[in-house]
Amino acid sequence: MPAGDWGDIYKELGAVPVINATGSVTMLGGSTPIPEVREAMAQADGAYIPLMELQEAAGAAIARMANVPAAYITSGAGSALMLATAAAMAGDDDDRIQQLPNTEGMKNEILIQTRQRYWYDRCLELAGAKLVMFGSEGQTTREDLESAIGPNTAAVHYYAVEQEYDPDALSLEDTIAIAHARDVLVTVDAAGQIYPLENFGKYVRMGADFQCIAAKYMGAPQSTGLALGSDEMIRKIGLQAFASYEGRRVRGVGRPQKVDRQEMVGAVAAVRAWMTTNHEDRLADVERRTRTIFSAVDGVAGLKADLMDNVIGHQPYGLNIRVDSAVAGFDVYELRDRLKEGDPPIWTRVRDGEDCITIHMFGLNPGEDRIVGERIAALFRK
């Protein structure tokens, strides 16, 4: 069991705290701010500051560290996606900024490969944009994009996942070349592409006009994200955001997506810490904790555990757990449910289309790796 005061602040409210064996997921809180971030946020409490000025200064600091032209702090990566589509459609025209999400008279189509549709592309539509697919389920060619670009195309969106190379998708290099030849913007969702460090901002350096990053993956508050991009694109993103709504008195669609001053300096501190941390030590610690769970479940009848050796992105290592229901007497979904019903509850998940529970170390506190491994093993030995 965790320490005696574990989760008491939630229990006092009548809510049930859980052990997070799923990873950095929004529905469980997303992140645990690192000490450098908590200290920076505490220092920010001591004074007020005009937030348009802070956004500019904080963005400039992040841009320098990421080696990109410009950056802007947003209310999560999803907010960055929405603001980017608003910028692509309305630009710096204040009348159009205030007209959104009504896009009449604007280019309002965001192109996306059929093969790259994903759960969070919904964020691209929130400012009023229309998603238009190109290519097929099987493959995307240069000709598919060339024929899809039309008079209403505002941008082409690309979903970057370095861990899962797709040879049948149109590459980002080709996407940028074709789109820019037609004076069309390219936006990239790279929310988790923060390691190796050369991937941090890589897509902007390749020529994309914008990419997003979820700052929670670096130990910033869950509600912070980064928009990285060209000077022009980031300037226009700032015009759509909440600080501009108040500071310029122009009513953009980004007003509900507020970021406080403490979170802004926390995001800067998180990037600074990420860029200077010893990642070999970080990865070694994650691998050690992964093996703690693996050692507890390896060889248990009815259970098969496979170690993952990926180190790219925000959630390295981890393990996949499969269930032989003929031996165990239950399937992987019941295992997930039994873990959730325990005391304390352990949250895991089975992704759509998969037959395993994937466990990551990101959300586990010290010692919880052992608890997770022992709990799983015990369920199979009953």
Query: Residue 286 sits in a domain of what CATH number?
Result: 3.90.1150.180
178 shares a domain with 287 = no
The answer to whether residue 96 is domain-embedded is yes
267 shares a domain with 285 = no
CA atoms within 13 A on the CB side of 113: 26
158 shares a domain with 72 = yes
The answer to whether residue 158 is domain-embedded is yes
What letter would DSSP give residue 122?
A: G
204 shares a domain with 131 = yes
Q: Which of 175, 190, 179 lies closest to 154 in space, CA to CA?
A: 179
The answer to whether residue 3 is domain-embedded is no
Look up the domain containing 289 and give its range: 8-30+278-381
The answer to whether residue 140 is domain-embedded is yes
CA atoms within 13 A on the CB side of 96: 18
The one-letter amino acid code at 107 reads K
DSSP H or E run through 291: helix 279-297
321 shares a domain with 178 = no
Tell me the CATH number at 115.
3.40.640.10
Residue that terminates a domain, selected from 222, 245, 276: 276
DSSP secondary structure string, 249-264? ----TBTTS---HHHH
In this predicted model, what pLDDT tens digit does every residue of 49-91 receive, in sequence order? 999 999 999 999 999 999 999 999 999 999 999 999 999 999 9
C-alpha to C-alpha distance for 46 and 58, rounded to whole angstroms: 17
Residues in the chain, overall count: 382
220 shares a domain with 103 = yes
174 shares a domain with 270 = yes
178 shares a domain with 151 = yes
143 shares a domain with 227 = yes
How high is the pLDDT of residue 1? 65
Q: How many structural domains does the chain have?
A: 2
| Angle subtended by helix axes 368-381 and 332-341, to nearest 10 | 120
The answer to whether residue 61 is domain-embedded is yes
134 shares a domain with 201 = yes
How high is the pLDDT of residue 353? 86
C-alpha to C-alpha distance for 20 and 222, rounded to whole angstroms: 15
Q: Give the global pTM.
A: 0.96
Burial label, 192 (beta-carbon count in 10 A; 0-12, 13-18, 19+): buried
367 shares a domain with 318 = yes
How high is the pLDDT of residue 381? 86
Phi, psi of 267 (to 5 degrees): -65, -40
The pair of three-digit structure tokens given for residue 39, joined into one six-digit string:
């200290």
Residue that terminates a domain, selected from 276, 305, 326: 276
The answer to whether residue 1 is domain-embedded is no
The answer to whether residue 2 is domain-embedded is no
Number of other CB atoms surrounding residue 98 within 10 Å: 14
205 shares a domain with 266 = yes
DSSP H or E run through 145: helix 142-148
DSSP secondary structure string, 188-252? EE-TT---SGGGTTHHHHTT-SEEEEEGGGGTS-TT-EEEEE-HHHHHHHHHHBHHHHHHT----
The answer to whether residue 18 is domain-embedded is yes
Residue ranges of the chain whose pLDDT lies below 50 = none
Q: How far is CA 314 from CA 215, 288, 311, 361, in A?
A: 10, 17, 8, 11
Residue that terminates a domain, selected from 249, 276, 303: 276
Q: Which of 190, 216, 187, 214 lies closest to 201 in space, CA to CA?
A: 190
